[in-house]
Amino acid sequence: MTLTDFASLLDRATVAALTFAQSMVSQSLPRDARYDVFLNQSFDEVVDASSTLFHQDDNRVLKLLSRDAVIECLVRDKCCPEWIDILACAIAPDFTVMKLLCCGRFTADASRLYYQSAGMGPFGIKSPDLPRSFQDGKLFPLPTIS
């Protein structure tokens, strides 16, 4: 995975996740994004030889990263996580916070990327976390940060 290819996929996934979230939340979502990155969110006791683990990422969470910082963090030696769930999780005055839940297995093999067949590489578009009071079809607010 090249930096340019990953950047393009991140941009597309961000727009798709923002668009999906906007259909569910009551606030207007800013199009500018920052990212909370949760590394090593997969169970990786047994790993295929075509995957690489970075144990230094265990329990690591990086908050409010820029787009460029995300790319630098998640593309390593032309490898990226096999899956990355992306969802809107909070709103600041000038940006939407996107949560990235990342697989701990990194690969350079595009066929191992979970959403490759949908044209999204590693990115799976997910709904915002649903509140306990969620009712289908009813908009809900995302948390806000200042």
Q: What is the pLDDT of residues 69-85, one digit of tens each?
A: 999 999 999 999 999 99
Whether 141 maps to a domain, the answer reads: no
pLDDT of residue 9: 98
18: containing domain: 3-44+51-125
Q: How many structural domains does the chain have?
A: 1
Whether 138 maps to a domain, the answer reads: no
pLDDT of residue 48: 82
pLDDT of residue 31: 96
68-97 b/e (C-beta count within 10 Å ≥ 16 → b): eebbebbbeeebbbbbbbbbbbbbeeebbb
Does residue 104 surpass a pLDDT of 80?
yes
pTM (2 decimals)?
Answer: 0.95
